[in-house]
Each structure stands twice: as C-alpha cells, then as structure tokens.
A and B are shown apart, each in its own frame.
Chain A
C-alpha cells in the first residue's frame, strides 16, 4: 500500500502516525512545500517572543521520519492531482503514484486589494516559520515601527511576539473590537488593556484606504507611519488541488465523517477542509490545531483500512497575551450568563438544555469541564448547572457520572 500525504503540519503528521500505527509496511510519502521538519506552527509568535527556540519548536524528535520509515520530501510542492491515474504531479515534474492520498494543505494568508499595497517593501504575513524568520530579520537593529493590519488571532499573536522589540505597534481592524471571531466587546476590552500596556495602539472601526511605502492612510483620515507592515486580515483554505481534480469544494474541501473527499481514495484534513460544527450544525472551516489533529488521525485510520469517524468538531481557542488568558469554545448563541470583575470575565452561552459556548478571560481553571459539556452536548438537566455556572467542577455531576470519569480507566 502506498500512502501520499500532502502537507507536513498537524493534520498530515497525525495521519502519518496513525497510518504507521496500523500499517507497519506501507510506504508513506510526506510532501511539504516548506523546508523544515514538522514544527508547532502556532509557536511562531512564541519564537519571536523568546518563549521557545528553533529546537524546541520541533513537534517531533529529530529521528521522527527515519524511525517511522516515512519518506519525507521537504521543499516539494504538489502541483496537481490526477484522480484517475492516482498520481500527484510534483514541482519539478516528477509524478508520484498513490493508493491512498491525503490532502492536508492548510491555508494561506489572504489580503484584499488595497491601493498602494505593492509600494510597501517591508511587508510580511504571519503564518509560517519562514514568515517569522523574515519578520525577525526585518526587526533587527534599530527598533522599528510596526503596523499590523488585522486584530484577529494571527495579528495579535504577532503583536505579542514583537511588541517589546518594536518601536511601537499599531493595529487596524474594520471590527469594532479586537479578536472579533472569539470575543465579545467586554472580553476584548480586557485583552486590549493588556496589549495597550505594552504600547500597542489600536485603530478599530477603521481600515486602510491607501498605503504609501511607509505609511497607512486610514479611511478615518488618520495617517499612521510605519517601517514594517504585517498583513493578517484573513486566510483562505488551499482547496485548489482537489477542486482542479474535480473534487467537491465549497469554502473548504468537502469531506464526510471519515475525512473522505468526493474523489475516490482521496482524503482531506485540517485547515483546508470544512467541518460540521456540532454546536451550530453548520458546515464551516474550523482552522484549529486540535481539529486538524483529530481529522488527520481519523483520515490516517481510514486510509489504512480502519473505520473511524470524527464527528465532534467545534470551535475552541486558547490564546494568551502577556499573561492575560483567553479560553473560548463553541458558538455564542443562547441565553447568557455573565460574571465580570476587574480583569476577569466569564460568559456562558446556554442553549436548549445544552451549553453552546463560553468566553473565559483570566478564568482558566478547569475550563475543560465546560468544553466537555459542549463536546458531549450533555443535557444540562443531568448536571447541577447552577453550580457549574459559578465554576466548572465535577461535583456538579451525578455520583454515577462521576464514577464513570474517576473510578475507572478512561
């Protein structure tokens, strides 16, 4: 059996490991358009912050590929899938046959057209280790002024990474508050205070009308000078390979609970796919590392002849900024329960007898107990939810349910 995996990050590696656990003999080829062994992609901001280094960023041990007998092809881009011939065309013209193929191509930064953007010479994205290394180089020497376009997860983690090595960082976003995809206004205010204390300036409800080489002219009329620009407006899933091969693609690659695409023997996992969100019931792109790992592992199992399903996808984010901790999960619909005091903020979203989602700022303790209520869609009538509202705790569960958690192997 010959397995080909396009993508060397969370989903691709999870699949490769699962394949190897089930098939000791099969040939596994891992293609990567990057030149590095697998690294913790979300760690690039921690690298700039100095909280980790190149060696510790390695997601697996140095002998990982060799030990598992994976044929790792760094710096090799998959250009085309021929689903009839069951082969992948590589950059350089080589063709690789497969019996089972996984597309784990991730996503890429997307910046809408903005007048003058091409005039900016010091312009970076913040998705890959190469991005982080280029940005590091650009920030070396005399402290630079940085302008970040986008106050989402990527933009603000970049901000945290570079704030103390830059001569001021300005951030602009069309949204009215920072981290609009995961926080409400009150939660965002706590985080913004922390970032502000590290010298960040925010231009919200605003956007760039035009760039000059070293300045952004905002729609509000303000002019923000900078030395270095980071664009972090959004991402687009890398769906082209599957689409051009005739596979079904909506916003992301369409897959079933076994991670099968509509093409025979072609699977997909990670940020390039759509998942069914168990909270909203909607198909959406859940570009999260845990989701990529679960999908990848499921794909690997099925590619190797197993019959696993992954059908518990939902949004979740753990993100921190200079010690301010943000944990969120699920969807923000339903009745709200709020507690706010100083720099702690908690909001629960309660649906029809289920927990739909939560926002926790500086309230991390035991948060996973809430997350599990979402994952299992636990009927709230089965737990003492009045107790759980105050704090996530296992005594809110019945003795029987608790015995299932604590008195046996889980």
Chain B
C-alpha cells in the first residue's frame, strides 16, 4: 500500500506538516480560524536534532502491535492495509501508546481516546495534507 515516508536529508524541521495535519483534522476550512491562538495536537510529529530533522507518523505496520494490543477492538487494519481507529470504541487506555515502537499514536486532546494518522481519509482532504504541503518534498506518499 501507499504509505507516508520522510526523507530525513530533505526535512528542514519547519514543522509545517504538524500545522497542516492539525488544520486538516480540525474540521474547519479556514486555517486561521482552525489554528490561531490554539495549541495544536497533530498526528505527525517532527523530531529535531542538531543536524537532523524528520517527521514521524503512523507506519501502518504490516503486523501492527497496536492493533493486536487494543483492549477495545477500536484499532483495526482495513483491507487496504491502513491501521484505523474507531474513536467511538476507543476508551483512551493508551495501550497503543505503550506499544507503538515509533511514537506515532498519541492521546487525542480530549483525553478520552487515542488519535493517529489515517492518511487524511477521515477528514475533508482525502489525501495526506502533510505530504501536499511539505515545502521541500521531504514527506512523500508512495509505495515502497
């Protein structure tokens, strides 16, 4: 399946992907209204070292530890291979946060569920907004 990959060498560490992610998942169409004055809770996170920067989001692992470990059945793998979360079923126990080797699933801001990248299939964008807006094409959406 197509997944999101980051080319570490090209990532500038601008964190724009985090803002685009938060915007995409805000349910709003105006970026200023969606983000201004708000603490963002993106599903992609950028790590910054002295020399390196890179973004991390759900790897949609072939054999996802989070799916196996979920206590409520909220995390599933769909036919395409995407790891999905059903926010209604999720009780926010954070077992998935405890097992994800990539730090790619996190508590949702309301604290009652987890959240993760669903490749923008669960919002108005329909395609990964972080990829679309990465100024240096460091984040790509492709088959590997």
Contact = CB atoms under 8 A, between A and B. Distances in A.
B94 A327 contact: yes
A52 interface: yes
B103 A368 contact: yes
Contacts of B136: none
A372 B99 CA distance: 7
Interface stretch (B15-23, B67-75, B126-134): B67-75
A13 to B, nearest CB: 9
A130 B8 CA distance: 52
9 nearest interchain CB pairs?
Answer: A366-B103, A372-B101, A290-B69, A368-B100, A59-B73, A318-B95, A40-B72, A395-B49, A318-B98
11 contacts: A40-B91, A52-B91, A56-B89, A290-B95, A294-B68, A320-B94, A327-B94, A365-B97, A368-B97, A402-B54, A410-B59
B52 interface: yes
Interface stretch (B29-37, B106-114, B117-125): B106-114
B94 A364 contact: yes
Given A289-B95, A318-B95, 19 more contacts: A40-B73, A41-B71, A46-B91, A316-B98, A316-B99, A318-B93, A318-B94, A327-B98, A329-B98, A365-B103, A366-B97, A368-B100, A368-B103, A372-B101, A395-B48, A399-B8, A402-B54, A406-B8, A409-B144
A56 B72 contact: yes
Contact of A402 (B8, B48, B97, B98): B8
Contact of B5 (A42, A323, A372, A407): A407
B56 interface: yes
Interface in A31-58: 40-43, 46, 51-52, 56-58
B45 to A, nearest CB: 8
Given A43-B91, A316-B99, A52 B68 contact: no
B61 interface: yes
Given A51-B112, A372-B101, A394-B103, A293 B72 contact: no
Contacts of A46: 91, 93
A409 B71 contact: no
B78 interface: no
A293 B68 contact: yes
A297 B67 CA distance: 12
B55 to A, nearest CB: 9
Contacts of B96: 368
A393 B48 CA distance: 10
A259 to B, nearest CB: 15
A234 B88 CA distance: 31
Interface string A354-397: 00000000001111110110010000000000000000111100
B141 to A, nearest CB: 13
Interface of A: 14, 40-43, 46, 51-52, 56-60, 289-290, 293-294, 297, 316-320, 323, 325, 327, 329, 364-369, 371-372, 375, 392-395, 399, 402-403, 405-410
Scoring B94, B100, B105, B111 by chain A CB atoms within 10 A of each residue's CB, the highest score goes to: B94
Nearest to A293: B68
A40 B5 contact: no
Contacts of B59: 405-406, 410
Given A318-B93, A365-B106, A371 B72 contact: no
B38 interface: no
Contacts of B54: 394-395, 402, 406
Given A406-B5, A406-B59, A409-B62, A320 B98 contact: no
Contact of A368 (B7, B92, B101): B101
A265 B22 CA distance: 52
A161 to B, nearest CB: 11
A42 B71 contact: yes
Given A368-B100, A408-B144, A58 B93 contact: no
B72 A57 contact: yes
Nearest to B143: A409
Contacts of B107: 325, 364
A290 B97 CA distance: 13
B112 A369 contact: no
B98 to A, nearest CB: 4
Nearest to B111: A323
Contacts of A409: 3, 62, 144
Nearest to A46: B91
A161 B18 CA distance: 35
B79 interface: no
Nearest to A14: B68
Contact of B103 (A289, A318, A369): A369
Given A320-B93, A392-B103, A410 B98 contact: no
Scoring A57, A319, A366, A368 by chain B CB atoms within 10 A of each residue's CB, the highest score goes to: A368
B40 interface: no
